[in-house]
Amino acid sequence: MSVERSRTRKTNRSRKVLLIDDDASLRRVTEYSLHSAGFNVLSAADGKQGLASFRMDCPEVVITDIQMPGMSGYEVLRQIKNERPETLVIVITAHSSVEKAVEAMKQGAHDYLSKPFSRDELLIVVEKAFALLGLQQENRRLRDELEHQVDFSHMVGISDVMQDVFDVVRRVAPTEASVLITGESGTGKELIARAIHQGGARSKEPFVAINCAAIPATLLESELFGHVRGAFTGAVRDRAGKFEQADGGTLFLDEIGEMPLELQPKVLRVLQEMEVEPLGGLSRSVNVRIVAATNQDIEFALEEGRFREDLYYRLNVIPIELPPLRKRAEDVPLLVRHFLERFRTAAPIEISAAALEGLASYSWPGNVRELQNAVQRMVVLYHGEKLDLQHLPKKIISGPSSSRGQIVKLPADGYSLETIEKEVVVQALEHNDWNQTRAAAFLQVPRHTLIYRMEKYDIKKP
Ligand SMILES: Nc1ncnc2c1ncn2[C@@H]1O[C@H](COP(=O)(O)OP(=O)(O)OP(=O)(O)O)[C@@H](O)[C@H]1O
Ligand SMILES: [Mg+2]
């Protein structure tokens, strides 16, 4: 229902025309004609005033006289095209000065009117401009839609687990249910979130993503709920939050596990009441579908009291768990071919069976993203060659998963298990640039297990 609401709101948006002319009587007549034809008319008596109004009111169409004292119409045209090239500018030229009109068109004017012009002539030109804008908008929408479709078909996976995931996506996309996607970094959580949005009734409305881990806790609140001018130092104008930006569409709350505890009740309230209260402002209603994602063990965060249960249950109506790539090695060859195809600039790239096998037996701690980067790198470095074992990144050939048999060499006179464990944890962290999430994935343990070991052995980043 509210999808409808916000769509009407967009099409009913008043069609704004800015009229700049120093001739007061002509301005009044033109203003009246446009106004009576249903346009929202703003007017200015010279170029300077005109530009100020242009910047503040953002009209879609500007009509400007060419010959004006002070700033000329050409200068106005130049500035406008510079600042917002999508604006359509119609110039008014004196009777019989076709050269001036031609010159203005060369400089980017959309159309011209030569004085004197009738009401009909005026309206035809302005209506034509808005018709073009409408077409351009429709084109953009269609292109977006097309991109969405391409996106959805661009998710590959033949493993049973991924086929199950795709099934769930197909079934939940057309509903309004909240979805919580879990999975290690790089497993495709965002891609799934987008697929859910695109496969549903809200696909023509915005998909807005916010990464709760990337924004400092102090800013997150205003980022989510918005603020009004003056709500805090630096709030120089009203700003809609992500909830409002996503109105009618889908809000993707990424890394939800990092949402500060004190913000959680507020988010819960919005989800329950579908109303947001911008900082310093009055509450307004929103209609968003929520898809959330986390690469953390959120149940552990629940136990530890870092995540509220009520919010968790609200978000986790439909859980989707994305398995790490090492648990679906059968997807690797397909993904490799998919990325080879995506990154190639010339003829199709061949790859040997041995190389594919090498890639499939690697553990991929960074999951699909890491695989994608590895393939892109090979395409760049060795284009024109048939890819084989020697082209694979070194870590893959000598990685832990391909060194079958002895992974750890023990000294002849033995060693304490704790020392070995500590050493392994340090090495995993070093190998992953001290990124705990990746190091945990590397050791195939939940992140909290790694953190527990780091505390136990007092391991700190140097
Ligand atoms: N099944 C898939 N098919 C094709 N490409 C994929 C697939 N899964 C992931 N990718 C690609 O891998 C990259 C990482 O995916 P995405 O950003 O969705 O992961 P993520 O789980 O959100 O990662 P992070 O937790 O780091 O944010 C993207 O470039 C995406 O296009
Ligand atoms: Mg992501």
pLDDT digits (tens, 9 = 90+) for 291-341: 999 987 888 889 989 999 999 999 999 999 999 999 999 999 999 999 999
Side-chain-facing half-sphere of 410: CA atoms under 13 Å: 10
Residue 142: inside a domain: no
Residue 344: inside a domain: yes
Confidence of residue 13 (pLDDT cuts 50, 70, 90): very low
- Residue with tokens 């990337």, as numbered in its chain: 214
Residues 309, 285: Cα–Cα separation, whole Å: 25
pLDDT digits (tens, 9 = 90+) for 222-275: 999 999 998 888 888 888 999 999 999 999 999 999 999 999 999 999 999 999
Same domain, 42 and 121: yes
> Residue 402 has which token pair?
């391909």
The protein residue with its alpha carbon nearest to ligand 1, atom 3, reads 155
Judged against a pLDDT cut of 80, whether residue 7 lies above it is answered with no
Residue 295 and residue 188 in contact, taking contact as beta carbons nearer than 8 Å: no
> Residue 386 has which token pair?
């048939």
- Ligand 2 center–CA 40 separation, angstroms: 42
Q: What CATH number is associated with residue 330?
A: 1.10.8.60
Judged against a pLDDT cut of 50, whether residue 3 lies above it is answered with no
Query: Does the pTM exceed 0.75?
Result: no
Nearest in space to 445 (alpha carbons), one of 460, 424, 419: 424
Same domain, 184 and 301: yes
Instruction: Please indicate whether residue 151, judged by its CB atom, sits closer than 6 Å to ligand 1.
Output: no
> Residue 193: nearest ligand to its CA?
1
The length of the chain in residues reads 462
Neighbours of 56 (CB within 10 A): 9
Same domain, 158 and 99: no
Residue 86: inside a domain: yes
pLDDT digits (tens, 9 = 90+) for 174-187: 899 999 999 999 99
Concatenated DSSP letters for 253-266? EETGGGS-GGGHHH
**Which residue among 372, 435, 438 is best mutated to probe the pocket of ligand 1, counting the most ligand atoms within 8 A of its Cβ?**
372
Within 8 A by CB and 6+ apart from 106, the residues are none
Average pLDDT (109-120) is 94
Same domain, 211 and 354: no
Q: What CATH number is associated with residue 245?
A: 3.40.50.300
Domain extent at residue 359: 326-397
Report the Cα 159 to chain-centroid distance in Å.
28
Which one of 73, 102, 137 terminates a domain?
A: 137
Residues 92, 29: Cα–Cα separation, whole Å: 14
Within 8 A by CB and 6+ apart from 379, the residues are 340, 343, 344, 349
The protein residue with its alpha carbon nearest to ligand 1, atom 4, reads 155
Residues 319, 157: Cα–Cα separation, whole Å: 19
pLDDT digits (tens, 9 = 90+) for 182-224: 999 999 999 999 999 988 889 989 999 999 988 888 889 999 9
Helices marked H in 114-248 = 119-153, 160-172, 189-198, 217-225, 242-245
**Ligand 1 atom index nearest CA of 331:** 1
Within 8 A by CB and 6+ apart from 162, the residues are 323, 328, 331
pLDDT digits (tens, 9 = 90+) for 32-53: 999 999 999 999 999 999 999 9
Residues 432, 443: Cα–Cα separation, whole Å: 11
Instruction: Please indicate whether residue 123, judged by its CB atom, sits closer than 6 Å to ligand 1.
Output: no
Same domain, 66 and 185: no
Residue 147: inside a domain: no
Same domain, 102 and 231: no
Within 8 A by CB and 6+ apart from 173, the residues are 195, 196, 197, 198, 199, 200
Within 8 A by CB and 6+ apart from 378, the residues are 387, 391, 392, 393
> Residue 20 has which token pair?
């700049």
